[in-house]
Amino acid sequence: MPTLNKPNGSNLNNESKSKIALQIENLNVHFGEGHDRFQAVKDVSISVAEGGSFGLVGESGSGKSTVLRAVSGLVTDWDGVIDVDGEHISKKREMSYCRTIQMVFQDPYASLHPRHSIDRTLSEPLRLHKFDNIDDRVNQALIDVGLGASFRFRYPHQLSGGQRQRVAIARALMLEPVILLLDEPTSALDVSVQAEILNLLSDIRKKRKLTYILVTHDLAVVAHMCDEIAVMSHGEIVEVMDVDTMRHSTPKHEYTRELLQASEGYQPEA
């Protein structure tokens, strides 16, 4: 259902559209056991073309982050099909899988180890995956995210929120992934810093031909970053639309309209 046949619209060109980077079919995710068993994600299917940028929006508790966590392997109690680069993903992840998919988390204050230097944070994945030229790669990564090599031996507490998020992005890029999962990457940041990080993410996507899956509750941010948007509510995808449909406020589902309306600012009670 969610693979849209669009006669026009979408900024994706036809070449990149032909290859699917991530395909999810009938994904179900459960939490808990027995009486407390709770289904967080119900029958979610999406497909993201290579080089595409796909947005997932919805309220807290709608299951949008859980989809990302299932794809990245942080949640294990799932069934359905997840295809990355045309290959089925099994429950047990191979080392090589980590190199294709990486994730950036919401809170830059919580996602970096407070007692590891930036150097250690960035070089650890390289060591685990037996990369060469670790020194050069760490320096280059810091330059690529706009920090510069001088940040290499600092600790997270010496950095601002925006700088930490840049480190988190650098860490995600260390293993040269194809797909980047972004879980509310800017919601903890000030608007001016948000602009910097979003610009950085768009530049990196262009330069490295990455595929993005962006989870956020901010419709303006998805509209800026993504070509295609899925709206989630209570664990289900209620609507998939391209960005033009959203801009022209013509979504079909009532919940999507409510979200759009709310993003226009405050409206006194009718």
Partner 1 sequence: MSKPLLEVEDLWVRFPSKRRVVEAVRGISFSVGRERVGIVGESGSGKSMTGRAILRLIREPGEVEAKKIHFDGQDLQGLSEKQMRDVRGHKISLVMQDPKFSLNPVMKVGDQIAEAYRVHTNASKAEAKKRSIEMLNAVQIRNPERVYDSYPHEVSGGMGQRIMIAMMLIPEPDLLIADEPTSALDVTVQMRVLQIMDKLVKERGMGLIFISHDLNLVASFCDRVIIMYGGRIVETCRADELQNAKHPYTRGLLNALPDIHKPKDQLSVLERDPKWIEDPSVDAYS
DSSP secondary structure string for all residues of 37-86 = -EEEEEEEEEEEETT-EEEEE--TTSSHHHHHHHHHTS---EEEEEEETT
- Total residues interacting with partner 1, rule: CB under 8 A: 34
Task: Please state, in angstroms and rounded to a whole number, the distance separating the CA atoms of residues 63 and 60.
Answer: 8
Is 207 a binder of partner 1 (CB under 8 A)?
no
Q: Which is nearer to partner 1, 26 or 261 (CB)?
A: 261
Counting contacts by CB under 8 A, is residue 36 touching partner 1? Answer: no
Q: Which stretch binds partner 1 (CB under 8 A): 19-27, 46-54, 175-183, 193-201?
A: 193-201
Q: How far is the CB of 144 from partner 1 (least distance, A)?
A: 17
Hey, is 16 helix, strand or coil?
helix
Q: Is 122 in the site for partner 1 (CB under 8 A)?
A: no
Cα–Cα distance between 213 and 71 in angstroms, integer?
Answer: 10
Q: Count the neighbouring beta carbons within 10 Å of the beta carbon of residue 76.
A: 11
Closest distance of CB 238 from partner 1, Å: 14
Question: 135 or 254, CB closer to partner 1?
Answer: 254
Which H or E element spans position 245?
helix 243-247
Contact status, residue 11 vs residue 227, Cβ threshold 8 Å: yes
Q: Does 245 bind partner 1 (CB under 8 A)?
A: no
Give least dist CB 182 to partner 1, A: 15
**139/256 with CB nearer partner 1:** 256
Pairing of strands 211-216, 179-183: parallel
Residues that bind partner 1 (CB under 8 A): 59-61, 161, 190-196, 198-199, 202, 217, 219-221, 223-224, 243, 246-247, 258-260, 262-269
